[in-house]
Structure 1
């Protein structure tokens, strides 16, 4: 029986995790899967045939240590999925520039290397908006993401200056669609569409993650959604075992918020066929374990 590691972290008590839904289907194909923390420095990664990055949801706080771990896995005999090349490309949201350069529509964005209050305020005119969102280029789970108006920016100035003093960040108009309609996520395994969900924030919030009270529902993806997702996947630098394409409606078209290729929740709980769909894609790529 071959061995597969589902890469996670030490403490996920405050998160919703569904990776264990893969363990039994993988076993049916001769693969022994187990969850392993990326923080375990005693692991000999060569004992695994494949290491799948899954719920490593603290990596953004320890980016260099995380990349060091992945490079060690990549240098072992284990196959890393998604690949190190993909992770290094996807780990900074600057990859959105690559997508845009290849004709993929993204949320309008300004990019900054250092915090400058005057330049931030100029974003209101640039986007012709009353509200904006600021977020680090390396982030997850809406960490250090702020929504503000001109008035609230005054009170946030010192905090934002501290948070972004040594972080590259992006500035975007706040899109009311996130409240009115929600954010869509489309899931692909080995390039094949699996399922889609709609995520809406709880009342009074704009973050759609479950951990922040977001509400989820399974939806049927429209052809417009699928087209945006296909164009996005075609722009990736390498093949991927899994991908989540997050989109939102903006000015009567769907635009990409993010393409999650490192540690996205794949919401296996939202579609009963999705764990098997993932495992089928895995076995197509790596074969049966016995």
Structure 2
């Protein structure tokens, strides 16, 4: 069997990949595919690489323009560069809303106008996030009356932010993440925030556990992917379940953690999807 070589794009802090990345190495090897881990900061076109797969460049948002410039020449790239660019700015949420996706109500504002914009919404409590961010960096939960104090935004960098009403459901039910490979549903996890917190990320003390979501959450996730501008090798769709139905938090198409450890078949499913993308395998 001719063994093909692919590259998992990581960053300088994860030159050997993440735990999830490593889980798929053996299944890929069984399918005749070897993996090299390449930090995006040093990625260059290489004729020996059959595919470049963005996996764990979890610092990209700190230098997003440099990241996009660096990976742009890499081919074939998964997910595609156009899809990555589209997903890199949270304005994509408005496009999904226009397509009928139930998003959390969202407005956008430059940092210097956040107080006025938040006040105009009439929401009692809001969440503020940078339009380009990851892992909750720069995300704040603020009560509306506090917006009149400039200190509420001390330390926030210049740039554009999204403002959303805070949904208390996240404190009780957390978020549900649905993972897809080549548009096919694979598995889900429920992420819960630590006591007294609202961010569900593990780096903020949150927990992750396998779950079986309501069928409407999977169906809505499929609708989200149909509304995206092009198909991708992988996707993670994050929801908050409310009394009014699921509300989209975000769709992750750049470097999502895929929680392969949450389901025994997930690493093999991802390996199969990669093999199919290369034109062979299961």
TM tier, shorter chain?
over 0.9
Question: How big is the shift at 1:205?
Answer: 1.0
SS in 2 for 1:144: coil
Residues 20-99 of structure 1: pairs in structure 2 closer than 5 A: 20-40=22-42, 43-73=44-74, 78-99=75-96
Which of 124, 128, 137 pairs up with 1:134? 128
- 1:209–1:6 Cα change, 3 Å: same
Contact 1:16 1:211 in 2 (8 A): no
The corresponding residue for 1:221 is 213
- 1:117–1:167 Cα change, 3 Å: closer
Q: Which structure 1 residue ranges, 5 or more long, are not aligned?
A: none
Question: How big is the shift at 1:261?
Answer: 0.2
TM-superposition CA deviations, 1:167-208 (whole Å, max 9, x none): 111000110011011100000000110000110000111111
Question: How big is the shift at 1:123?
Answer: 4.4
Give the TM-score normalised by the residue count of structure 2. 0.93
SS in 2 for 1:45: coil
Q: Which structure 2 residue ranges, 5 or more long, are not aligned?
A: none
The corresponding residue for 2:275 is 283
Residues 156-235 of structure 1: pairs in structure 2 closer than 5 A: 157-158=150-151, 160=153, 162-164=155-157, 166-235=158-227
Provide the rounded CA distance (Å) in 2 between the counterparts of 1:118 and 1:145.
Answer: 15
Contact 1:92 1:138 in 2 (8 A): yes
> Is structure 2 residue 136 aligned with structure 1 residue 149?
no
Provide the rounded CA distance (Å) in 2 between the counterparts of 1:170 and 1:270.
Answer: 31
The corresponding residue for 1:19 is 21
- 1:25–1:271 Cα change, 3 Å: same
Question: How big is the shift at 1:286?
Answer: 1.3
Provide the rounded CA distance (Å) in 1 between the counterparts of 2:202 and 2:109.
Answer: 29
Count of equivalent residues: 278
- 1:163–1:282 Cα change, 3 Å: same
Q: Highest relative contact order (Cα 8 Å, sep 6+), 1 or 2? A: 1
> Is structure 2 residue 107 aligned with structure 1 residue 110?
yes
SS in 2 for 1:135: strand
SS in 2 for 1:46: coil
Provide the rounded CA distance (Å) in 1 between the counterparts of 2:53 and 2:18.
Answer: 18
Relative to structure 2, which stretch is displaced further, 32-41 or 52-61?
32-41
SS in 1 for 2:24: helix
Give the TM-score normalised by the residue count of structure 1. 0.90
Question: How big is the shift at 1:212?
Answer: 1.0
Runs of 4+ in structure 1 over 4 Å off? none
CA-based RMSD of the aligned residues comes to 1.9
TM-superposition CA deviations, 1:249-271 (whole Å, max 9, x none): 23420011100000000011111
